[in-house]
Structure 1
Amino acid sequence: MTGAQEPGVMYTKQLRIAALAERFPQRAFTSLAHNIDAQWLKTAYLMTRRDGAVGIDGQTADDFVRDFEANIQRLLEEAKSGRYRAPPVRRVHIPKGDGRTTRPIGIPTFEDKVLQRAVVALLEPLYEHDFRDGSYGFRPGRSAHQAIKTVWDGLSSMGGGWVIDLDIQAFFDTIDHQHLRAFLQQRVKDGVILRLIGKWLKAGVMEAGQWQRGKVGSPQGGVISPMLANVYLHYVLDEWFEKDVKPRLRGRAFSVRFADDAVLAFSNEADARKVLEVLPKRFARFGLTLHPAKTRLVRFRPHREQRAETFDFLGFTHYWGKSRRGRWIIKQKTAKDRFRRALRHISLWCRANRHLPLQVQHRHLCRKVQGHFAYYGICNNGRALQVFRFRVIWYWIKRLSRRSQKGWITWEKAGQLLARLPLPRARVVHRWSF
């Protein structure tokens, strides 16, 4: 491959777009696509994950790069001229945390990933000016842990409150295309960009050899899907909550959203109940449905006489507990469904790979355990981390025993194995002060 560029040129253009977005906050931009040239696409290629699953055409990153310059030029010409035909995404299903149901994921072709990445890089500096501070999902420089800390800070400053735990049913599959286009056109009226997005929305999915037309939704797994989801919920929820809801409230309130996972917090119970009543109507107006059983109001205050209510957000259960000094503080621990899902993944992996050499198994398990600790390693979650590590050891020893003709490995021998091949110890990675 030759000619791939460092992100510097793209970054300079993004700064100009960001400056224009800030200067003209009400303007719908009609000329954006001219920024996408061959160098922009090459940078988008560098930003695209090259070891991911293949789309319906089976093309890999290595296939694309064999004739890199020609492929980049062809992709650019087809996108600009309107001749680009968005292929359907390949639908696969991945297990959810309960181990029984699955989540559909759409895998675009590699060329589609590159072009979608180019469009996302074009829209990001424009919408970063518009998106609210409470929005954290799939935004540059923002993370799930920042969202969790914002929830912690907000509820701590209010001394607790009333929390609406939102659950949108099949959000990515029910995004209304007409509403999405209307939202996009408030800031983007470039025909090339809108045409490309329209083609991706209509491309549909291919599953078990059958093509399904894309009438609604934006398949999870697409590079551009998180951006479109953020735009949709920016107008449906974030802007509405800040501009229409909060000015009418008696008490304090804030919202935190990570993609389609959101919580709304209130200091006043009447405010919370009023918003909970109108939320289903607000979402229904834009083709979305709140899960009637999972969307709930939580009384989130420190209780001295009864067990306090809790809520889950981004894989953590948020609850009240006592600090070492005896003060009530908000704590987080690994949510039960995430804990079970992680252990189930470990168990299945150990069973499928128990015949690999011990050193190879150890290397893979270390990566998996470190990855778990990297996300769930927060203050006050040490016990869950230690239990997770112990259960991983138990599953590993159990599966190794199945391959041994002598039966179950004794804990003495297991201790010798772990002394030679130790798993990472539980550690706190993310801290915030109390």
Structure 2
Amino acid sequence: MDVHSKDEQTWSTKLKRIGERSKRDKGTVFNNIGCVIDLDMLKATYHSLEENKASGLDKMTKEKYGTKLEENLKNLLLKIRRGTYKPQPTRLVEIPKEDGSTRPLAISCLEDKIVQKAVNTILSTIYEPIFLPCSYGFRPAQNCHDALKRLMAITHKHPNGAVVEIDIRKYFNSIPLKELNEILRKKITDNRFLHLLNKLITAPTMIDEKLVPNDRGCPQGSIVSPTLANIYLHHVIDEWFESIKITHITGGAELIRYADDMVFVFENLLQAEKFFRVLPKRLQKFGLDMHADKSSLISSGSLAAMRASRKGKRLGTYNFLGFTCYWGLARNQKWWRLKLKSRRDRFTAKLKGLKKYLWENLITSNTNYILKRVARVVQGWINYHGISDNDRRVKGFIYAAKHILFKWFRRRGDRKKMNWQRLNALLKQAGFPERWKTKSMFPNPNDAKA
């Protein structure tokens, strides 16, 4: 499709106007937004979907759907406008977690992904201008490293403070749909659009050849779920916290949230303790449950760390976005600051996953493909974990990955042929990373003053 076509400009112009209205007046209520979805928007959405993604129950691929794209999308649009569109059941995949449990992932059919993404585009356009700066997850121009930098900056501001780490038990699967719809209706009164959205959320899942209806939660794997999860916590946590900071909290306080992973930083320990008692009640009011074993209150700050050190103790640690946050001495050994290192459980789990993959591919003639794939996995891990103070973990990961590969080759029967010199040559040829550029997480002067 020509991106400069007249029709494409029509839907994109409508979308732009919606965004401008939302930004100009945060109290705007939208009552006619479903009209944005037209044939050209569906085409653009189809083309924006990633290739080679897992297919749903109907086994339809993007390539196959595209052979009759115009016909398929016209039929889809007709069903949407008549109100007869009905998502197909999702396919459930269990993704292993570090603690041994699994995370259910709902795999939708391709046509349903098109509708999900179109609906999500409209939702994001409305809500993005009103989301608060404390929210970093699934937002344009924001990422995990930005959230970590902000955490470093704000903890630096409070030398004798506290941190509250919160975990919401099975958040995505626990969002009550009635309460979610009540929140959505504060901004959107287009009943046809909301009905379409609810069809997407409540699509049943095929489990053991039985259809299981979804009457609670936003299924992980759905394109629209991250935005809905942000919308719910924007109301339940973000706006509420901004309000009580003014009315109920003495001293500085700030929230850093990435989806349902969040920490609250306080200038005053007593205020943090008070907040820690109140927060579970706030969550329960909106159908959510704080995971007590994974939530904690920890003293924080350079002065607090120094006092603990003089007593032969150390401040407690907490986890955020895959890292363990702890207080350690700066290089000059004169003052204490927050440091980050990759969580040990996730470090170990990633290596176990790598070993499992290699052992499942023990008998293969295409070793070059395997090596290149492993190199990409290791590079991806380094891209995220290669940050300030984490060099030791990164070096350890590279070293462990190479040893797993070495054992894999020897297990394949290459015991006589394989040695470290030959392995290093093969890894170099496959683009296996040995060096990396550390990403600085140190707060810049503006962050420290913020």
Counterpart of 2:349 in structure 1: which amino acid? R
Match among 331, 345, 348 for residue 340 of structure 1: 348
2:386 matched to 1:377?
yes
The DSSP-based 3-state class of the residue aligned with 2:140 is: coil
CA contact (8 A) 1:172 1:219 kept: yes
Distance of aligned partners of 1:408 and 1:236 in 2 relative to their CA distance in 1, 3 Å threshold? farther
The answer for the alignment partner of 2:317 in structure 1 is: 310
Distance of aligned partners of 1:299 and 1:11 in 2 relative to their CA distance in 1, 3 Å threshold? farther
CA contact (8 A) 1:204 1:213 kept: yes
Aligned pairs for 1:246-325 (under 5 A) are 246-301=246-301, 302-303=305-306, 304-305=309-310, 306-325=313-332
Alpha-carbon distance in 2 for matches of 1:318, 1:42: 45
The DSSP-based 3-state class of the residue aligned with 1:71 is: helix
Distance of aligned partners of 1:325 and 1:249 in 2 relative to their CA distance in 1, 3 Å threshold? same
The DSSP-based 3-state class of the residue aligned with 2:257 is: strand
Alpha-carbon distance in 2 for matches of 1:55, 1:5: 29
Counterpart of 1:400 in structure 2: which amino acid? F
Distance of aligned partners of 1:108 and 1:405 in 2 relative to their CA distance in 1, 3 Å threshold? closer
Alpha-carbon distance in 1 for matches of 2:207, 2:127: 33
Alpha-carbon distance in 1 for matches of 2:207, 2:259: 25
CA contact (8 A) 1:398 1:408 kept: no
CA contact (8 A) 1:382 1:427 kept: no
2:403 matched to 1:394?
yes
The DSSP-based 3-state class of the residue aligned with 1:94 is: strand
The answer for the alignment partner of 1:364 in structure 2 is: 373
The DSSP-based 3-state class of the residue aligned with 2:93 is: strand
Point out the more displaced range, 219-228 or 350-359. Answer: 350-359
Aligned pairs for 1:32-431 (under 5 A) are 32-98=33-99, 100-159=100-159, 161-301=161-301, 302-303=305-306, 304-305=309-310, 306-326=313-333, 327-356=335-364, 357-404=366-413, 406=415, 413-422=419-428, 423-431=432-440
Distance of aligned partners of 1:261 and 1:4 in 2 relative to their CA distance in 1, 3 Å threshold? farther
Alpha-carbon distance in 2 for matches of 1:269, 1:11: 49
The DSSP-based 3-state class of the residue aligned with 2:337 is: strand
The DSSP-based 3-state class of the residue aligned with 1:49 is: coil
Counterpart of 2:75 in structure 1: which amino acid? R
| Structure 1 residues 107-158: Cα deviation after superposition (integer angstroms, max 9, x where no partner) | 1111111111011111112101111101111111211111111111111122
Distance of aligned partners of 1:383 and 1:313 in 2 relative to their CA distance in 1, 3 Å threshold? same
1:363 Cα offset (Å): 1.2
Alpha-carbon distance in 2 for matches of 1:159, 1:407: 58
Distance of aligned partners of 1:41 and 1:378 in 2 relative to their CA distance in 1, 3 Å threshold? same
Alpha-carbon distance in 2 for matches of 1:213, 1:15: 36
The DSSP-based 3-state class of the residue aligned with 1:22 is: helix
CA contact (8 A) 2:159 2:300 kept: no
The DSSP-based 3-state class of the residue aligned with 1:139 is: coil
Point out the more displaced range, 101-110 or 304-313. Answer: 304-313
Alpha-carbon distance in 2 for matches of 1:334, 1:164: 20
Alpha-carbon distance in 2 for matches of 1:224, 1:102: 21
| Structure 1 residues 213-241: Cα deviation after superposition (integer angstroms, max 9, x where no partner) | 11111110000010110111111111111
Gap runs ≥5 in structure 1: none
Alpha-carbon distance in 2 for matches of 1:405, 1:372: 28
| Structure 1 residues 166-222: Cα deviation after superposition (integer angstroms, max 9, x where no partner) | 111111111101100001011111122101111122222111211111111111000
**Pairwise CA RMSD:** 1.9
Structure 1 length as normaliser, TM-score?
0.94
Counterpart of 2:354 in structure 1: which amino acid? I
Distance of aligned partners of 1:325 and 1:405 in 2 relative to their CA distance in 1, 3 Å threshold? closer
The DSSP-based 3-state class of the residue aligned with 2:294 is: coil
Alpha-carbon distance in 1 for matches of 2:138, 2:103: 19
Q: How many residues align?
A: 428
Gap runs ≥5 in structure 2: 444-450
1:333 Cα offset (Å): 0.8
Distance of aligned partners of 1:258 and 1:11 in 2 relative to their CA distance in 1, 3 Å threshold? farther
Distance of aligned partners of 1:213 and 1:397 in 2 relative to their CA distance in 1, 3 Å threshold? same
**Identity over aligned residues, as a percent?**
33
